[in-house]
Structure 1
Amino acid sequence: MFLAWNEIKKNKLRFLLITGVLMLVSYLVFFLSGLASGLENLNREAVDKWQGDGIVLTSESDKSMPQSSMTLDQLDDIEADNVAVLGQLNAIATSGDIKANVAIFGIEKDEFIMPDVTEGEAFNGENEVIASDSLKEEGFQIGDELELSSTDEKLTIVGFTEDARFNAAPVLYGEMATFHRVKFGEAAEQNDDQINGVVLRTNDLKSVTDNEDLETIEMEEFIQNLPGYTEQNLTLSFMIYFLFVISSVIVAIFLYVLTVQKISLFGVMKAQGISNGYLSRSVIAQTFILAAVGVAVGFGLTLLTGAFLPAAVPVSFDIPTMLLYGLVLIVVAILGAVFSVLTIVKIDPLKAIGG
């Protein structure tokens, strides 16, 4: 450690460049992890809010709620501790000059998926809805009358609730009758038994239903099948993994070049009786110091950047995940130093000093 630290102090600029590169790589890794976490939350917030164990959809729906069409009569075929009916459709909501893509949930007020109201009041009447508080950031307010792209019906916001986005769209919660009017228009009364799915709370999902037309899906599996959810997460994860490899390669190249430049010096040190083990430990310690400092600075810059980002940027920093990624970056940097260690071990003192 003594040798490693003294060399860093003597060649500040050279090692500052290595630390700077590691800092930029770690900054990008941390930011991508926050982006991945934020986009993941955008898709699943409303589903997590249900705190359900599973959901029942039709077998032909391919685990997609919009493609599932059930009737209330099919509730007789479902056995669970708690059930909550759900209707869902997507629309564009307009209030004045403000527009937003929204997901409309039809629910029953006395069932467990009814959201907590954080501002305003719960829906009590015809065409009243509770809206995701993310819509406030776009300019929507309590009392706004919403025009919808798919119907002549108009909805009124009477309250807001936290953490309510489904597949990246803010959710509007209304009573099931409101959902039927929006979806079926004048034919609402003839279709007042139509729903999209049934959310469950139960300890035994396997025995929920024997109806072959229905499929019971674990909640996490349902989330994984949301459009674009898995593909998005895999893309960002692969980007992070590639950055780990890039980080290792960068460190390996830098340290190898530095080692080659110091071959004669290492030869003299070995001729004086300094062991390969001591020199190798010095290189590893040097790499650890550089990587730790670079990762720590990148970590701090990421959190600082997050504090100034606008709410529209879907970033959510998960500290345990970031710490894990930081540890991985340090480890792969040390692995990248192995090439320099191997070079040092192979140095012949006599040849190195020109003997």
Structure 2
Amino acid sequence: MFLALNEIKHSKLRYTLVIGVMFLIAYLVFFLSGLAYGLAQENRMAVDKWEADYLLLSEKANDTLNMSMIDPEVVNQVEAKEKALLVQAPAIIYQSKDEDTKENVSFFGIDAEGFIAPNIVEGKLFSKKGEVVADISLKESGGYSLGDQIKISMNDEEMTIVGFTENAKYSVSPVIYTSLETIQQVRYGEIAERQDLRVNAIVVRGEITEKPNGLSKIAIGDFINKLPGYSAQVLTFGFMIGFLVVIAAVVIGIFIYVLTMQKTAIFGVMKAQGISSAYIARSVIAQTFFLATVGVLTGLVLTVLSGLVLPEAVPFQSNVLFFTGISVLMIVIAIVGALFSVRTIVKIDPLKAIG
């Protein structure tokens, strides 16, 4: 280790460039990972908050929530530990005082007493017709606040924000929770009272002991994977990040190999003085470990700091376990890449190297 660090001190510019390349690649990998994780979470956060085990959807819906229609009377035929009705309706909303600013949202019609009711971080839970609870992102980036009157663009129905919750997004859109009665207004407007209630799903926590015909049971994990675009997005970013990690390892391995070849004469002199190949090899591995660790950690720190100053609209989220795993993987693969240099060191003939 002494030899490795001493050489770095002697050739600061050369090794600073190596660290710089590793830092840039690590920063890119971490930043893309944060974006990928944040975007994936914004697809599923509202579903994860249920802490449920299964969804019951109509068999003809192809496991798609907004295509499912279930008669509420069927709910009484379902026997499970806990169950809750869910009505989902996409919509575009705007503030009554500002019709030019519109937001794409997803309404969740629920029973306020059910286990899928949202936690309240500001205000209160809806208690009567026309009241809604919105995701906090509508306040932070959309300019909405408690008491604001919002309208549904397709039918101009007016509602009041009485509370805010957090981590409530579905398919990247902010979720607005409301009662089963109010969700009818969202769907049908003025003719809501003449329409029969149709729920999209029955959310179940625990095992289902009795399921009526016409309903299909889907595990929450499977339902999330079938969200439109979710699996494709996760696979795309996964392959991209994986290739970047491999590229980083190859780059650092090439740098170390080139530096090793440039020092062939020096290693030959060291061998002639009785220094073993194993000692020199350990020095190269230690040097690679130091360079990779400094570059990766610097990239990680800058990524975390970048996440603190990004706009709310950017779906960036840090995950400690995720980042730790990527850091260890990049360092380990970089060391594996440096092992090719060890083979060159072992084959060095002192007499030929000295000339």
Instruction: Select between 102-111 and 123-132 the one with higher mean Cα deviation.
Output: 123-132
Q: Which residue number corresponds to residue 51 of structure 1?
A: 51
Q: Which residue number corresponds to residue 135 of structure 2?
A: 132
AA paired with 1:218?
A
- Residue 120 of structure 2, aligned match among 97, 110, 117: 117
Cα shift at 1:55: 0.9
1:228-258 Cα distance to aligned partner (Å, 9 max, x none) = 1111111111121111111111112111111
Cα separation, 1, equivalents of 2:16 and 2:29: 20
1:181-234 Cα distance to aligned partner (Å, 9 max, x none) = 2213354344333110010111x24x44152x2111111111111111111111
Q: Provide TM-score, normalisation by structure 2.
A: 0.94
Q: Which residue number corresponds to residue 160 of structure 2?
A: 156
Cα separation, 1, equivalents of 2:51 and 2:8: 53
Task: Give the CA RMSD over aligned residues.
Answer: 1.5
- Residue 179 of structure 1, aligned match among 178, 183, 190: 183
What secondary structure does 2:79 align onto?
A: coil
Cα shift at 1:169: 0.7
1:76-87 alignment runs, 5 A limit:
76-87=76-87
Conserved 8 A contact 2:74-2:212: no
AA paired with 2:211?
T
AA paired with 1:47?
V
Give unpaired runs (5+ residues) of structure 2. Answer: none
Q: Which residue number corresponds to residue 263 of structure 2?
A: 262
Cα separation, 1, equivalents of 2:278 and 2:181: 76
What secondary structure does 2:336 align onto?
A: helix
Cα separation, 2, equivalents of 1:182 and 1:176: 10
Conserved 8 A contact 1:66-1:196: yes
Conserved 8 A contact 1:177-1:192: no
1:7-26 Cα distance to aligned partner (Å, 9 max, x none) = 11111110111111111111
Cα shift at 1:92: 0.7
What secondary structure does 1:70 align onto?
A: coil
Identity in percent: 50
Conserved 8 A contact 1:58-1:68: yes
Cα separation, 2, equivalents of 1:181 and 1:308: 39
Structure 1 runs (4+) deviating above 6 angstroms are: none
Conserved 8 A contact 2:106-2:176: yes
Q: How many residues align?
A: 351
Q: Which residue number corresponds to residue 282 of structure 2?
A: 281
1:165-314 alignment runs, 5 A limit:
165-202=169-206, 204-205=207-208, 207-211=209-213, 213-314=214-315
AA paired with 1:73?
E
Cα separation, 1, equivalents of 2:154 and 2:175: 16
Q: Which residue number corresponds to residue 323 of structure 2?
A: 322
Conserved 8 A contact 1:98-1:140: no
Instruction: Select between 226-235 and 280-289 the one with higher mean Cα deviation.
Output: 226-235
Cα shift at 1:295: 1.4
AA paired with 1:19?
I
